[in-house]
Amino acid sequence: MSTVAPAAQEAPAEQEAPAEQEALAEKTAPEKYVLELADLTKSFGATHAVDHISLSVPTGSIFGIVGPNGAGKTTTLSMVTGLLRPDSGRVTVHGADVWKDPAAAKRNMGVLPDRLRLFDRLTGGQLLHYAGTLRGLDRKTVRKRSADLAIAFGLEDALHRLVTDYSAGMTKKIALASAMIHSPRLLVLDEPFESVDPVSAASVTEILQNYVAAGGTVVLSSHSMDLIQRICDFVAIVVEGSVLASGTTDEVRGTGSLEDRFVELAGGRKTAEGMEWLHSFSD
């Protein structure tokens, strides 16, 4: 997996610092936290989609962001990746401010947005080439990495077909491959496992874990609590634009499962009353 490892490896960060992590460490050195969000806000009209979110993502970890639909996960990640201008607040990637020094910050970041189109009239191979070239890679490197990524994601046979003819899961995989091709320090993935089959999800997970072992950092959002609990070192629960809990996965989930904790924080289950008619079937 040398193709997806960060260009320059850093000394693996210490991960035994949950207490400091809770304290939203503001004065930490850039090597320790590759991504920091400080007081990020975004409103659409009267709705506060993101309401003063601050997070620090330690280098060399998988950081999960979970939350109910419409909690502001995608909005937050869009502001992190430079796709959506925040109303206020600061995002730094490897010490560079995303909104003041986008060139440096974006160079270190690989992005998988949710529900945005791809240039889908290109073939898979062309799309990878396009993404790599826009990131400034030369022809030889792009060709080598495209071939490696295609094997890693099981897309060898699909590289010559138009992306518009891909299934939803394959589209997600080619987008993931495009996000990694320039070997960034940080991967920001919005719903990377949505509509990906279990076999591919397992191989994607393995790719991400190897990448993290080599010093890379992954921030991902997902609806699948099991998956987050299994692969994430850190987790933040976001509800209505605010962080309700964050820390190591074990801290956040406490004694129960992450799903229980999440449902509790997100406002509890709605009991389905008045649906008795569903139990008596019409002829």
Partner 1 sequence: MVAQFLGLKLRLLANSFRRGPWQVIGMLIALAYGIAAVSLAVAALAALRTASIAVATGITVTAGSLVVLCFLLLPLAFGADDTLDPRAFALFGLPTTKLAAILALTSVIGVPAIFIIVVSIAQVVTWTRSPLATFLAILGAIVIIATCLLGSRVTAAIASSVLATRRAREVSVLVVLILIVSISPIITIALSRGWAAGAPQILERIARVVGWTPLGAAWAAPADAAAGHPGSAVLKALVGLAFLAVLALAWRALIGWMLVSAPRISRERSDSGLGWFRRLPSTPFGAVAARSITYWIRDARYRTTLIAVPAAPLVFAVILAVAGVPWTLLALIPIPVMCLFLSWSVHNDVASDNSAIWLHVASNTAGWADRLGRTIPALIIGIPLVLIGSPLFSALSGAPGILPSMLGVSFCILFAGLGLSSVISARFPYASVRPGDSPFAQPQAAGTSAGLIQSMAFVLTLVFSTPPVYFAVRGMIDGAVWTGWSLLVGIGFGLLVFAGGVAWGGAIFSKRAPELLAFTLRN
Binding site for partner 1 (CB under 8 A): 81-85, 102-103, 106-107, 109, 111, 113, 116-123, 125-126, 129-131, 133-139, 142, 160-162, 164-165, 178, 182
Close Cβ partners of 268 (under 8 Å, ≥ 6 residues apart): none
The Cα 78–Cα 84 span in angstroms is 5
The Cα 262–Cα 255 span in angstroms is 13
The least CB distance from residue 84 to partner 1, in Å, is 6
The least CB distance from residue 215 to partner 1, in Å, is 22
* CB-CB neighbours of 97 under 10 Å: 14
Close Cβ partners of 182 (under 8 Å, ≥ 6 residues apart): 107, 110, 131, 132, 135, 136, 137
Close Cβ partners of 2 (under 8 Å, ≥ 6 residues apart): none
Residue 55, beta-bridge partner list: 37
Report the relative pairing of strands 47-58 and 33-44 from DSSP bridges: antiparallel
Which residue lies nearer to partner 1 by CB, 48 or 135? Answer: 135
Cβ proximity of 34 and 94 under 8 Å: yes
Angle (CA) 154-157-163 rounded to 5° is 90
Which residue lies nearer to partner 1 by CB, 125 or 261? Answer: 125
Beta strands in 175-240, from DSSP E residues, in sequence order: 186-190, 217-221, 234-239
- Tokens 């109910």 locate to 68
Which residue lies nearer to partner 1 by CB, 106 or 261? Answer: 106
Cβ proximity of 53 and 76 under 8 Å: yes
The least CB distance from residue 163 to partner 1, in Å, is 10
Which residue lies nearer to partner 1 by CB, 103 or 278? Answer: 103
The least CB distance from residue 126 to partner 1, in Å, is 6
The least CB distance from residue 178 to partner 1, in Å, is 8
Which residue lies nearer to partner 1 by CB, 107 or 264? Answer: 107
Report the relative pairing of strands 217-221 and 62-66 from DSSP bridges: parallel
The least CB distance from residue 119 to partner 1, in Å, is 5
Which residue lies nearer to partner 1 by CB, 21 or 183? Answer: 183
Which residue lies nearer to partner 1 by CB, 9 or 164? Answer: 164
The least CB distance from residue 145 to partner 1, in Å, is 13
